[in-house]
Amino acid sequence: MITSVTSWPSPAKLNLFLYITGQKPNGYHDLQTLFQFIDYGDELTIEANTSGQITLSPAIEGVKLEDNLIWKAAKALQNQTDCQFGAHITLNKILPMGGGIGGGSSNAATTLVALNFLWQLNLSDEQLAKIGLALGADVPVFVKGFAAFAEGVGEKLVEVEPKQNWYLVVRPDVSISTAEIFSHPQLTRNTIKRELTTLLEEVYENDCEKIVRILYPEVDKQLSWLLQYAPSRLTGTGSCVFAEFSSKGEAESVLSQLPSGTHAFVAAGVNLSPLKERLAEYESAYSQSI
């Protein structure tokens, strides 16, 4: 076990496109979506210990410890490996909940990747992704750490390298339930399944966007505003929307024109997760120390 205090990024993601191609008998939806990370996210500070307990600070208002995806990920890893070690985890939370940028899933994945290293469990990415899938459909892409085309419920991943644009991400002041959007009777569920090469060449869209804009006028208003400046759309089931630019300066120029009080940030799209980069740094430092 590695007992030093370590710090781990928990990056956000964007769904550059999202299509719903069908619905399974169990209610889950078949998707085709393109994930890309952004260099913006939460940070987890983790200190492994021999207590066997998973402790977490600070508490998140309205979320019981046992319902927190960080705690659930750590416990799942303990249970799968019969690990007797514990950890104290401190979360610096900046990603919004219910924003469609993967905050909770990313937190869970970072916990799995970090504790696998700190507890020296030596599980593969595939094994960690399998544990993560039980926690949420988006967890595996964060575990594997590369931009990916996903099918199925999001678990079938193919590594891709979309253009690494700059993004202005805006979060209207609403929290949207994924279940609410996916259960809506008017949601498009029959988009034709297409080959990846075809999808990458076409204009990117999100099948959830129409429903979200109907149900949440704040999202509709923000998207309408962004579309004046650049190609813009919803990520995931929302509520975050994003506009894409070829340079940081262009994105920051539009950011400066947003009304004061608007929650927004500029970030770069990255095809290799910052989590993977941090893991490589720690692995290199550890190998040199033994």
- CATH number (domain holding residue 15): 3.30.230.10
pLDDT-based confidence at residue 27 (cuts at 50, 70, 90): confident
Q: Rounded to whole angstroms, how far apart are CA atoms 128 and 52?
A: 20
Q: What is the pLDDT of residue 28?
A: 85
pLDDT band at 175 (very low <50, low <70, confident <90, very high): confident
**Count: domains in the chain:** 1
Residue 272, classified by CB atoms within 10 Å of its CB into exposed (0-12), middle (13-18) or buried (19+), is middle
Average pLDDT over residues 101-116: 96
Q: What is the pLDDT of residue 98?
A: 81
So which residues are the catalytic ones? Answer: 13, 138
* Residue type at 76 in one-letter notation: A
**Which contiguous run of DSSP H or E holds residue 77?**
helix 69-81
In the three-class reduction of DSSP (H, G, I as helix; E, B as strand; rest coil), residue 227 is classed as coil
Distance of alpha carbon 259 from alpha carbon 145, whole angstroms: 34
| C-alpha to C-alpha distance for 91 and 74, rounded to whole angstroms | 14
What pTM was estimated for this model as a whole? 0.95
The pLDDT assigned to 154 comes to 78
Residue 122, pLDDT score: 97
Residue-number span of the structural domain to which 32 is assigned: 1-290
Residue 290 binned pLDDT confidence (cut-offs 50, 70, 90): confident
